[in-house]
Amino acid sequence: MKNKFLISSMLACGFMITHTYAAPTKATGYIDIEQVKKDNPVPNVDIAKVQKEAKGIIDQTVLPEAAKLPEGVNKRIELGQIEMPPQKIPDYLKDDKAMRDQQLSGLDLEKMAQKYNEALLAEKSKKSQGPDQGANDFEAGRAYLFISSSIPKQTLENLLNDAGRLNIAVFLKGNIGDDPLKFMGTQKFMNTMKIKTPPELFIHPDAFTMFKIDRVPALVVAASDVKERLDEQGCAAPEDYDIISGDLKLSANIAEIYEKASSPDIKDIARYYMKYVNGTDRYNNKK
């Protein structure tokens, strides 16, 4: 009995001790979600409605005309064929380009000299053809005026006007300007001249050699068979042409060559030009 009481007492005491010294429980953090929603209400946005309103605003926006691409470009963009349209060169530039290409090739000057050199050396046409035919196609001997840009402008203008009036061909040794293969410098120089009747103008370096031109201006009347007696350097025989150089007055010079011609052939050629000097054909029937 006593033992039962002791055990009961001990159990009772032990229970009390255990209850008395139990570790305290820590507090846990707690968020009231419903309270947060209540304190911070979320706006009720209709996303579909907002997108619809935005599309309406965009559709009402009009691009300026300058910002629009041409219809043809838009079409190529759609087809994936974006390309630059071919460039069109104006006709006047095509002509200028063709002239430059021809001159820069180095062939133009050579062919020009050859053409007129062969013309100078061609056989004389029959007199029955008439003087105009022989003069225009170079098949007969002709009168030639040799010039350069170093001649004073007023003197050169007078000579060119007289040459045009008398149908005398004019020769330059080469093109005027920095580039001897470009005719543009020569053309620009000639455009500064006041010429009523422009003469035929040729670039003919071989003619300067043929008639031994070392002084300009010079007037030459060449025989129709000058080609037959050229030396190895391409120079004409002295008896095959008459020449006057220095202070020229073409009408008087042609008349002088006609009166003092060194051969009947040269006199016959000078006779053709006398009709321009005197404005009559009366010399054409003289021998």
DSSP code string of 84-146? PPPPPPPHHHHHHHHHHHHHHTTHHHHHHHHHHHHHHTSPPPPGGG-HHHHHHHS-S--EEEE
Here the tokens at position 33 are: 């979600």
Q: For the chain, list residues with pLDDT below 70.
A: 1-33, 36-37, 40, 42-45, 58-140, 180-181, 280-287
pLDDT, residue 169, reads 92
Give the separation between CA 140 and CA 134, rounded to whole angstroms. 5
Q: Which residues of 15-45 are buried (b: 16+ CB within 10 A; e: fewer)?
A: eeeeeeeeeeeeeeeeeeeeeeeeeeeeeee
pLDDT of residue 18: 43
pLDDT value for 38: 73
Residue with tokens 């133009």: 108
Whole-model pTM: value is 0.51
What is the model's pLDDT at position 133?
A: 36
Of 284, 246, 248, 280, nearest in space to 267 by CA: 284
**Cβ(237)–Cβ(262) below 8 Å:** no
Q: Is the CB of residue 161 less than 8 Å from the CB of residue 196?
A: yes
Q: Which residues contact 189 (CB under 8 A, 6 or more apart)?
A: 149, 176, 177
Q: Spell out the domains of the chain, with CATH numbers in brackets.
A: 93-285 (3.40.30)
CA dihedral 269, 272, 274, 278 (to 10 degrees): 180
pLDDT value at position 50?
72
Residue 265, CA distances (Å) to 142, 155, 190 in order: 11, 30, 33
Predicted pLDDT at 47: 74
**Tens digits of per-residue pLDDT, 184-203?**
888 888 888 898 989 998 88
| Per-residue confidence (pLDDT) for residue 227, from 0 to 100 | 78
